[in-house]
Structure 1
Amino acid sequence: MLHLLILNGLLSMAMAQAKPDAKLTLSLPNLPSDHLIRYLNTFPKLKQQLPSNATTRSTSLACWGHERDCSAEARFQNPHCAGDHTGWARSKEAQMQTFYYQADFGYIQQQLLELTPMCMPKYLTDSSLECTRYLRFCRGRNLLFDLRDVAQREERIRYHMDVLSPGQLLGHCDLNRTRLSAEMDHIGSALQSWGPELRNFAVLPKPVLESHLCDVVVNTPTFIMKIDATYNMYHHFCDFFNLYASLFVNQSHPAAFNTDVQILIWETYPYDSPFRDTFKAFSQRPVWTLSDLEGKRVCFRNIVLPLLPRMIFGLFYNTPIIQGCSNSGLFRAFSEFILHRLQIPFKPPQRRLRITYLSRRTKYRQVLNELDLLSELEKNEDYLVERVSYERWPSHETQTF
């Protein structure tokens, strides 16, 4: 029932906004062709609307790999486990399956199986909330975030677990408080769970949008993100990767890969990063922080609380990988998605191997002999070496050796 109510609401919104003669144009997302075929196979009704001679009208059964009926042959990619070593698995097959559920689309499948209603709507205008285990991913409708106290805080917010107080997250639905409380085990730090925020959920006596409590109503679907360190490529890409994975967990509607969405970063520091353009792969709108909404009661029609960068046994940061396996289709799909959306051109291999060295010009963790290393690399005529240093001002500096 929850999925039907959410889906019906989203369809009604899409039909109200779309022009009759622009249906297909609005519906097809900007994806690589191999991804688009799988997207259309996920939504067969949309696929049937395409012209019969369209290249995307493939009869292929290609799938991503998180679908229950997706065969190993039709997956986006299968992992590779070399040699006879099976790690702690009993067989080669078990080794590959373990890797698939640890670091591939099998992980997405687990999240989908875990999605559980926390607050059930009775009517279409009601609120709703459903989450995976330990509140690692959640999505909801018609929820009110009371951010009036944020404007009164003396210190800026980052990695805080007390942004919301009891009763500052509100909705009108049938809340299963026991079920919600049972998923608070991963509340040890801010980037592990949405528990610090959702523990403050309270029920309103009437629907949110009829309560006259909203100072601002955000109609655009919104992803609220608690992010890792923005000036470290590894740490910030934990955020981008998990946001991409969350698109699949949230893929209950053809608009799942649209860019007309809002990103809201759950801190009051101005967002700044040498990798900030990566957000353009997900959203065409400027990134918000809590500073853009502080002091207001904000009502969101559709929100997603995506997978977090430092989840226990999560992807990227704390991933437990079985020995001997590689070739994750999910990681490859993420790479292709980012390159395609950001229109980064492919440069075919040359005679010389291109080496890009990322220089860290900060107070700590500097490589003290990096110039010596680069000079040695330069002596090899088979290498084309670039030293790139990301700075706040200017945004970055490139030096060719």
Structure 2
Amino acid sequence: MYLVVVLFVLGSAAGFQGFDRLDLPENHIPYYFNSFPEVADKCRQEDGCPYKDKLDTKKCWGYEFGCKPADSFARPVCLGEHKGWVKSKEDQINTFYSQGDFGYIRDQLHEMSVMCEPYFKEDSSLECSKHLRFCRGRNIMINFTSLVNRKERLRYKMDVLSEGDIGGHCRLHKQRLMDECDHISPLQSWGPELRLFSERDKVPIGNDCDVIVEKPTYLMKIDASVNMYHHFCDFFNLYASQHVNSSHPDTFSKDVHMLIWESYTYYSSFTSAWDVFTKHKLWDLNTFKGKVVCFKNLVFPLLPRMIFGLYYNTPLIWGCQKSGLFSAFSQHLLHRLKIPRHKVEDKRLRVTLLSRDTTYRNILNEKELIASLKNNTNYHVRRVVYNRNMPFTKQLEITHNSDIFIGIHGAGLTHLLFLPDWAVIFELYNCEDEGCYYDLARLRGVKYMTWKDKTKLKQQDKGHHPDGGAHAKFTNYEFDVKEFLRLVGLAAKYIKEQESYKEFLRADLHDEL
């Protein structure tokens, strides 16, 4: 195991890129330095290093060997009852930490097992976590020549590769690999591809390859790219995978390739999110159709629909919230996309109402609700429609500068990931899908509210699911104005009591003076 880890260090990006290109949120720098003490030493020795005040701390992300809870990036807040899942408050905290925090990264690392063992330093290698959720390989050959004969478009296909189409020069532990091929599904594991892994008689380089990819490459089997909830499961798991793969100072480098595992040309309103992870053009299966490709370093990241995964199938224990992993992801993305935090000019709370331009789940009396908010001088109110007509980075800017974010059940509520820590997400009505955004808000650590009194809302009709039958998501709603204002008032009261909000006001209003 140690040998493989050393190989990955040697086989990663060419070398540390320099302090001027570190490109991490400032509060993440101490954790980075402690993960890579050789970089900290370099900073300590160089007069021009701008991060000397970040050195010599005990801070750690939470998954490193010997990392103490008191020194970790964050610990969950578990004020509520666990409802019988565990026996103690400590067990409750640790359970949440393993389910949806840096403890999940720690567990992936502990589970890593060598699947194909190198004979020598220059050989191929492959190691994976349980169920082949996360894998990484060195000097891996993938044969895409058979794709020339595939006439159908490839998406969510489990037969992209055939026997002998993927392999390397290493000693394959075949039974160990097959034992982990128990989650065979397009977006749950890398079993559909890696069950075909085979030993080759020599390292796949030179004339054996039509293309040699020198830079680290992430294979990406992505969920629905038109839906923010599902697509950001891709981006979140990619970020989490960078932590699992953090064996080299360039672990967060953007000088890597992304190969999307489908032949459809990628299109999404959220394309700019890729700029967080790569500076190169996205690849897909068409890029290498008909070619044998040899990858120096290949990462098979965590997938969006894993069983007990992040965050689509995350089973969260009751009574806990505030994952440091989700907070770090939010900060990382906002930093790299350069989303500004606006200064406040007064103490009015910034209320954003997300309006839908779809057939269903519209607010029938939306204008009335907005007018009622605007009548309150304590609120600065903004109505927005987040669609392809508004750049995604602009959407993030609005969200990140909202104190109360209101919207009916829908993928746009995934924006809660990028709200300030003190904010409230008000899911106006959950349309009988109670756990989706409530759990996501718990993971992010922002306050969640939703409509409780069904006697004070009117459903346009019973709802008509496309496959037949009544369904609460396929109709529209009208809301009692008085009850709406009461709930927004509760959100406002909560925000004003948050110390983080008070500090935010003090900093901005003091600067104005």
**TM-score, normalised on structure 2?**
0.71
Shift of 1:348: 4.1
User: Which structure has the bigger radius of gyration?
Assistant: 2
3-state DSSP of counterpart to 1:264: strand
Change beyond 3 A, Cα 1:5–1:279: same
**Equivalence for 1:41:** 34
Shift of 1:36: 1.1
* Alignment counterpart, residue 307 of structure 1, candidates 291, 302, 314: 302
- Write out per-residue CA displacement over residues 89-119 of structure 1, whole angstroms, 9 at most, x where no aligned residue: 1011111110010010000000000111101
Within-5 A mapping of 1:191-340: 191-210=187-206, 212-340=207-335
Higher relative contact order (CA 8 A, sep 6+): 1
More helix by share: 2
Unpaired segments ≥5 residues, structure 1: none
Q: Distance in 1 between matches of 2:381 and 2:298?
A: 46
Contact 2:81–2:318 (Cα < 8 Å) also in 1: no
Q: Distance in 2 between matches of 1:338 and 1:298?
A: 31
Residues paired across the two proteins, number: 383
Change beyond 3 A, Cα 1:374–1:215: farther
Shift of 1:276: 1.0
Contact 1:86–1:92 (Cα < 8 Å) also in 2: no
Q: Distance in 2 between matches of 1:224 and 1:85?
A: 38
**Equivalence for 1:50:** 43
Q: Distance in 1 between matches of 2:220 and 2:353?
A: 30
**Equivalence for 1:14:** 14
Change beyond 3 A, Cα 1:218–1:87: same
Within-5 A mapping of 1:25-104: 25=19, 29-51=22-44, 54-104=51-101
Residue identity in the other structure for 2:18: L
Shift of 1:144: 1.0
Q: Distance in 2 between matches of 1:378 and 1:151?
A: 59
3-state DSSP of counterpart to 2:365: helix
Contact 1:144–1:171 (Cα < 8 Å) also in 2: yes
Residue identity in the other structure for 1:24: G
- Write out per-residue CA displacement over residues 167-224 of structure 1, whole angstroms, 9 at most, x where no aligned residue: 111211111101100001111x2000000000111111111004x2211111111000
Give the root-mean-square deviation of aligned CA atoms: 2.2
3-state DSSP of counterpart to 2:10: helix
Q: Distance in 2 between matches of 1:46 and 1:383?
A: 45
- Write out per-residue CA displacement over residues 26-71 of structure 1, whole angstroms, 9 at most, x where no aligned residue: 7x62101111110011111110111467435422101111112111
Contact 2:33–2:55 (Cα < 8 Å) also in 1: no
Shift of 1:360: 4.8
- Write out per-residue CA displacement over residues 149-168 of structure 1, whole angstroms, 9 at most, x where no aligned residue: 22221211111111001111
3-state DSSP of counterpart to 1:3: helix
Change beyond 3 A, Cα 1:29–1:294: same
**TM-score, normalised on structure 1?**
0.90
Change beyond 3 A, Cα 1:41–1:374: farther
Change beyond 3 A, Cα 1:56–1:113: farther
Identity %: 45
Within-5 A mapping of 1:153-192: 153-187=150-184, 189-192=185-188
Shift of 1:384: 1.5
**Equivalence for 2:6:** 4
**Equivalence for 2:511:** none
* Alignment counterpart, residue 18 of structure 2, candidates 20, 24, 41: 24
- Write out per-residue CA displacement over residues 249-308 of structure 1, whole angstroms, 9 at most, x where no aligned residue: 000111101110001100011111111100100111111111111111111111100000
Change beyond 3 A, Cα 1:358–1:50: farther
3-state DSSP of counterpart to 2:352: strand
